Amino acid sequence: MPPKLARRTTEMRPFLAMEVMERAFEMERAGENVIHLEIGEPDFPAHPAAANACIHAIESGETHYTDSRGLSALREAIADDHRRRFGVDVEPERIIVSNGTSPAMLLVFSLLVGEGDEVVLATPHYPCYPNFIRMSGGVPVLVPTDPAAGYAMDVEAVRRALTPRTRAIVVSSPANPTGAVQSEETLRGLASLGIPIISDEIYDGLLYDGAKVTSALQISDDAYVLDGFSKRYAMTGYRLGYAIVPLESVRAIQVMQQNLFISANCFVQHAGVAVLRDQGDALEEMLAAYTRRRRLLIDGLRELGFRLPVEPKGAFYVFADARAFDSDSLRLAFALLERAKVGTTPGIDFGESGEGWLRFAYANSEAAIEAALERLAAVLPTLR
Ligand SMILES: Cc1ncc(COP(=O)(O)O)c(C=O)c1O
């Protein structure tokens, strides 16, 4: 007799980028060559300071629990880093370090969202946000954004979506999958609505065409910033992230962290300190490569017949209208995987408004992107 599973797990939707990747791995195990443009994972090695710091920490016996909020050296380094990037003073006491941004997200949504509470977010959106909200018993309230307007969040539309049950507004800038960057004016407008902002700033630093990110903390203290080391420092597998929260929320988050995770990995936290202290030019080098790849992919996709109403300003994704080939994005992504051996993420992963679109990640080499475009050119005409 199968166990009766809790509704919060049966209602959770699969993360389709992962589903495509897992099928691609299966094909690779069977000897196929697949080009991965589906997953949001930098192909660069982790920041050079990370490995040595981690090894040194392990060899020095830094292998124990830490303060549940994180090592004070790391919280101070994160506060300094936020000041350096945004010119905002943040007390280290407001920072909670976690094993990746995702656990920080779980803590913040769990803190703010109860049964029947609502959270407003833009769509297309990072696939996991609604799942976190629903897991907390909440209801995601989606506000569409328009590619022709650069996916700017419409403050009036957000205002109309507010109800007495609204507990937070999610902002993601630069965003996954659109690469959109929200202007300071939009952030000010959203903050003026008087609802806490949850601001996912994990792609800050990966910016093009002179785009600049405004941190929610530059605008309001009533903000919960989510950030981490996965993208800016190519440290996905280290699992290191953090939340910066209003001072009065720290204690409740600390208690959750004590119970749910105890603390982030000690030696990985030491890697975080080293990376923040020794910025070097790893980010600039990655950015130069991303800039070339972005151009290659945008131009190549347009040539193939994908529609791109706006060019992404940040992150490492191109979100392209694929309806010229198929309006069912899941079917199209799997057809391209099976027939062209190119992994892409179906737009439906990012909400209904993404249906008919595909996300291409340029976290892969120029040679791989060129080869993927060639493979797509051979298969797409057969799909129209
Ligand atoms: C917008 C966004 N937030 C958070 C995350 C999770 O990052 P982490 O690896 O730090 O858990 C991702 C990962 O793709 C993301 O795209």
pLDDT in tens, 139-159: 999 999 999 999 999 999 999
Ligand 1 and 131: CB distance under 6 A = no
Does 178 contact ligand 1 (Cβ within 6 A)?
no
236 touches ligand 1 (CB under 6 Å): yes
Residue 181 has pLDDT above 90, yes or no: yes
Contact 285, 71 (CB under 8 A): no
Give the per-residue pLDDT at 10. Answer: 84
Confirm or reject: Cβ of 201 under 6 Å from ligand 1: no
- Give me ligand 1 centre to Cα 123, in Å: 16
Mean pLDDT (whole number) for 256-275: 97
Q: Is the CB of 103 under 6 A from ligand 1?
A: no
- CATH number, span 7-45+282-382: 3.90.1150.10
> What type of residue is 130?
P
Burial (0-12, 13-18, 19+ Cβ within 10 Å), 295:
middle
Pocket perturbation via mutation, ligand 1, pick of 38, 176, 227 by most ligand atoms within 8 A of CB: 176
Kindly state the helix (H) or strand (E) to which residue 172 belongs, with its residue range.
strand 166-172
Provide the percentage of residues in the chain whose pLDDT is more than 70: 100
Work out the average pLDDT over 233-255. Answer: 97
pLDDT over 90 percentage in the chain? 93
Decide: 186 in ligand 1 pocket, CB within 6 A: no
With a 6 Å cutoff on the Cβ, whether 176 touches ligand 1 is: yes
Mean pLDDT of the chain: 96
- List the domain boundaries for the chain: 7-45+282-382, 49-277
Interval 55-69 mean pLDDT: 97
Q: Please report the DSSP string for 110-165 in residue order.
A: HHH--TT-EEEEEES--THHHHHHHHTT-EEEEEE--GGGTT---HHHHHHH--TT
pLDDT at 108: 98
Mean pLDDT, residues 301-309 taken together: 97
Burial of 87 (0-12, 13-18, 19+ CB in 10 A): exposed
Which band of pLDDT confidence, cut at 50, 70 and 90, is reported for residue 303? Answer: very high
What is the distance in A from the centroid of ligand 1 to the CA of 317?
A: 13
Assess whether pLDDT exceeds 80 at residue 48.
yes
Q: Is the CB of 321 under 6 A from ligand 1?
A: no
* CA 45 – CA 238 distance, rounded (Å): 11
Q: How far is the CA of 297 from the centre of ligand 1 (A)?
A: 22
Query: In this predicted model, what pLDDT tens digit does every residue of 99-138 receive, in sequence order?
Result: 999 999 999 999 999 999 999 999 999 999 999 999 999 9
Distance (angstroms) between ligand 1 centre and the Cα of 46 equals 16
384 has a pLDDT exceeding 80: no
Positive or negative, the CA dihedral 239, 103, 76, 279 is positive
Q: Name the residue with tokens 């990966």.
A: 206
- What SS3 class is residue 329? helix
Mean pLDDT score, 297-301:
98
pLDDT score, position 7 = 83
**81: nearest Cα among 222, 227, 265, 208:** 227
Q: Is 241 in the pocket of ligand 1 (CB under 6 A)?
A: yes
Please tell me the predicted confidence (pLDDT) of residue 163: 98
- Beta-carbon contacts of residue 1 (< 8 Å; ≥ 6 apart): none
**What pLDDT, in 10s, does the model give residues 317-371?**
999 999 999 999 999 999 999 999 999 999 999 999 999 999 999 999 999 999 9
How far apart are alpha carbons 325 and 167 in whole angstroms? 40
The pLDDT tens digits of the residues spanning 158-169 come to: 999 999 999 999
Q: Span 49-277: which CATH code?
A: 3.40.640.10
Average pLDDT value for residue range 273-299: 95
